Amino acid sequence: MSTIARPTPRRELANLSPIAQLHAGRLPRRLVQLFVGLSMYGLAMAMMVRAGIGLDPWDVFHYGVFLHTGWTLGVTVIVVSIPVLLLWAPLRQWPGLGTVANAIWIGVATDLSLAVVPTAHEIGWQAGMFVSGLVINALGGALYIGSQLGPGPRDGLMTGLHRRTGLSLRLVRTGLEVTVLAIGWLLGGIVGVGTVLYAVLIGPLVQFFLPWSIVTLPGQRPAPSAEELAERGD
């Protein structure tokens, strides 16, 4: 008699307040995943900088600011996070532990990675380093999001503006990223084919990694699959 394997229920992100995030359970596992993800994000940023063929819009801005200050790139990332977080106040948003960790640790991880990642000079090495950095960035972002400890400063600004203005999330994100990209480019940030590749591929890559990265919390019921809904007649 053959058996039919039941589909694995989908994992879903919980909608939690900053305090609830800390009390939701499995905190040690989630903290480890959080910092692994943020460290990967910093490593990916260093790899894309060393590849030299383009950065994502926010990092174009970070790099542009870095060129005009005496700060390291990592310190620039941290400093830019401060006014971004201050913009949360009129949006009535509260940062979680992951938000604060994001604001600080990515900058630290970026500087540590830049100290060991060499600069790529030939186009083959540049392309390989950028694509590897893009995949690491997506996996790191999925791990960070999946830890369920709060959005990053820039993502929180995007979602906060979306809620307060009623504009679509896509429109708000596009508006923010076009703005910081333009300013970063005027400041001398690295814009190139990598910038376009990032814009096109980062969403699908994060979506691919996220289902395996979400930490299911105690008492949180995963959303039923389409097959299960059909069996129940929903």
- Per residue in 137-149, pLDDT tens? 999 999 999 999 9
Residue 16 lies in a domain: no
**For the residues of 169-209, what is the DSSP string, one character each?**
HHHHHHHHHHHHHHHHHHTT---SHHHHHHHHHHHHHHHHH
SS3 5: coil
Whole-number Cα distances in Å, 13 to 78, 95, 188: 26, 17, 37
Residue 2 pLDDT grade (very low, low, confident, very high; cuts 50, 70, 90)? very low
| 104 lies in some domain | yes
Q: How far apart are CA 171 and CA 13, in angstroms?
A: 23
* Residue 230, in any domain of the structure: no
Which residue type does 171 have? L
Has residue 13 been placed in a domain?
A: no
Tell me if 7 is assigned to some domain. no
pLDDT score for 231: 42
Return the SS3 of 223. strand
Residue 51 lies in a domain: yes
Question: Would residue 218 count as lying in a domain?
Answer: no
227 in a structural domain: no
Tell me the pTM. Answer: 0.85
pLDDT at 13: 78
Q: Which residues span the domain enclosing 175?
A: 25-213
Number of domains the chain contains: 1
Of the candidates 94, 55, 101, 112, the residue with the CA atom closest to the CA atom of residue 78: 101
